[in-house]
């Protein structure tokens, strides 16, 4: 079983999101939208699934350095654990800060900032490529002599801590504001207002920002998101959009030396002969969030399919060690395909109907294959047929709604809503 603190805490994530949703309803704060929340969680799903393969890179290299180059044999006790926790957050601060200040690294981190809402579901909006750019920041801990198991535990706890600070339901927290990262401090970090850009990078502690000059107190309520909105519910595209922009802008730069500068300078940098650095502008007063509207029956359908997806994903993550390499790859592709399918429904893309028919069949086969190893007799095939039949019937009943809706929109499913 996967004993990662992040995976073990999955049920608690959804319980806390449910509580937050009730509190925000009581506060009359409409910061949850179904399409945004599902995309946030989808990004987390894709991140966890791809992380199954990327951990070979990050943990593998860390373990190699620990075994070959560790300077000290550090015992495992409460004091060394607390020291490692503090040092890990110090490394996290610099990994996080440079993920904002280096364009290439920003491509891995921008995913987390691309939601235009701020709630607990945003905490799950994680990148699938960030590990590639940031794992090296923690390698000094291996050379010092902190073992890989302790590193995984501390990193999981650090990430868990950052979950609860993604909320507007909690205001200021008094004395804790002086040294801990809090919802107020982290709301600043997610703001796209010029005064809030690249501030408050700490994970658990805020003291590093105060020491190194990147601290900003929360003043007016931030406008959340990024300066160039991604305008998509597709978690794969959300992960790739910045890299796609980089590819197009690199084509405009003729000099190799300037291409390298473009990769490693701050996001927004261009050579002087192409206009120079593009400063962050104030948020327009008429700024509108990206949003889509689909008929309620389709939202119910997506929610039903999403419950099935979360069940499959949780089972996969909890039991990933029991899958061989090809099974891991196959289940991962099915999970990611399903998350993309939801975006097709939300955006009313023309391709989603045909691919959804195919996806349901493949999903049913996947459920049969996985449950075949756990259930005896006819139960695996009955479960597969039941899920597929309910999905097909529900989809068929929505075909008329889909066609009518698509015939009455200029651009499938997309409009904007004014910022609240």
Give residue-wise pLDDT tens across range 67-105.
Answer: 999 999 999 999 999 999 999 999 999 999 999 999 999
- Structure tokens belonging to residue 329: 């790859």
- Structure tokens belonging to residue 381: 């095939």
420 CB-near residues (< 8 Å, 6+ apart)? 30
Please tell me the predicted confidence (pLDDT) of residue 412.
42
Helix (H) or strand (E) run with residue 179 in it: none
Residue 50 pLDDT > 60: yes
Mean pLDDT of the chain: 90
Helix (H) or strand (E) run with residue 343 in it: helix 325-346
pLDDT tier at 378 (50, 70, 90 boundaries)? Answer: confident
- Structure tokens belonging to residue 7: 């995976």
Burial of 237 (0-12, 13-18, 19+ CB in 10 A): middle
> Measured between alpha carbons, how far is 277 from 246 in angstroms, rounded to an integer?
15
Give 202-226 pLDDT, tens digit per residue.
999 999 999 999 999 999 999 999 9
Please tell me the predicted confidence (pLDDT) of residue 3.
54
pLDDT tier at 4 (50, 70, 90 boundaries)? Answer: low
Mean pLDDT of 334-359: 90
**Contact (Cβ atoms closer than 8 angstroms) between residue 146 and residue 81:** no
> Measured between alpha carbons, how far is 397 from 57 in angstroms, rounded to an integer?
46
CA atoms within 13 A on the CB side of 156: 16
Looking at residue 280, the DSSP 8-state letter turns out to be P
> Measured between alpha carbons, how far is 207 from 200 in angstroms, rounded to an integer?
9
CA atoms within 13 A on the CB side of 326: 0
Q: Strand pairing partners for 291?
A: 415
Mean pLDDT of 412-416: 42
Residue 306 pLDDT > 80: yes
pTM of the model: 0.90
Helices 296-318 and 352-371 meet at what angle, rounded to 10? Answer: 30
Residue 179 pLDDT > 80: yes
Helix (H) or strand (E) run with residue 167 in it: none
Mean pLDDT of 25-34: 83
Give 390-412 pLDDT, tens digit per residue.
999 988 887 766 666 666 655 54
Helices 235-252 and 256-264 meet at what angle, rounded to 10? Answer: 150
**Contact (Cβ atoms closer than 8 angstroms) between residue 115 and residue 35:** no
Give the range among 30-34, 160-164, 365-369, 388-392 with minimum mean pLDDT.
Answer: 30-34
């Amino acid at each position: 079983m996967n004993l990662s603190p992040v995976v073990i805490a999955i049920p608690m994530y959804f319980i806390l999101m449910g509580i937050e949703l009730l509190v925000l309803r009581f506060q009359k704060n409409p910061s949850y939208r179904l399409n945004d929340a599902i995309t946030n969680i989808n990004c987390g799903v894709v991140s966890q699934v791809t992380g199954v393969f990327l951990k070979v890179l990050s943990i593998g290299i860390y373990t190699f350095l620990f075994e070959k180059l560790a300077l000290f044999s550090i015992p495992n006790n409460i004091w060394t654990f607390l020291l490692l926790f503090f040092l890990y957050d110090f490394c996290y601060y610099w990994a996080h800060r440079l993920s904002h200040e280096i364009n290439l690294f920003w491509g891995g981190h921008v995913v987390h900032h691309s939601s235009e809402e701020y709630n607990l579901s945003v905490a799950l909006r994680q990148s699938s490529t960030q590990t590639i750019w940031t794992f090296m920041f923690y390698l000094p801990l291996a050379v010092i002599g902190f073992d890989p198991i302790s590193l995984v535990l501390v990193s999981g706890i650090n990430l868990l801590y950052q979950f609860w600070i993604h909320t507007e339901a909690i205001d200021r927290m008094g004395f804790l504001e002086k040294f801990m990262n809090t919802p107020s401090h982290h709301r600043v970090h997610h703001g796209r207002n010029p005064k809030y850009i690249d501030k408050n990078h700490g994970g658990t502690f805020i003291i590093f920002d105060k020491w190194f000059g990147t601290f900003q107190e929360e003043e007016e309520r931030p406008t959340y998101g990024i300066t160039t909105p991604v305008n998509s519910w597709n978690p794969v595209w959300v992960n790739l959009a910045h890299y796609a922009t980089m590819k197009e802008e690199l084509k405009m730069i003729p000099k190799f030396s300037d291409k390298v500068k473009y990769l490693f300078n701050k996001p927004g940098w261009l050579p002087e002969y192409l206009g120079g650095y593009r400063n962050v502008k104030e948020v327009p007063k008429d700024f509108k969030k990206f949003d889509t509207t689909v008929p309620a029956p389709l939202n119910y359908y997506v929610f039903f399919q999403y419950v099935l997806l979360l069940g499959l994903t949780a089972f996969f993550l909890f039991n990933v060690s029991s899958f061989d390499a090809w099974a891991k790859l196959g289940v991962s592709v099915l999970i990611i395909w399903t998350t993309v399918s939801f975006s097709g429904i939300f955006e009313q893309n023309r391709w989603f109907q045909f691919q959804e028919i195919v996806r349901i069949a493949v999903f049913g086969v996947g459920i049969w294959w996985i449950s075949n190893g756990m259930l005896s007799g006819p139960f695996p095939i009955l479960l597969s047929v039941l899920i597929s039949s309910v999905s097909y019937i529900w989809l068929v009943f929505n075909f008329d709604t889909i066609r009518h809706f698509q015939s009455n929109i200029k651009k499938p499913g997309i409009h904007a809503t004014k910022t609240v």
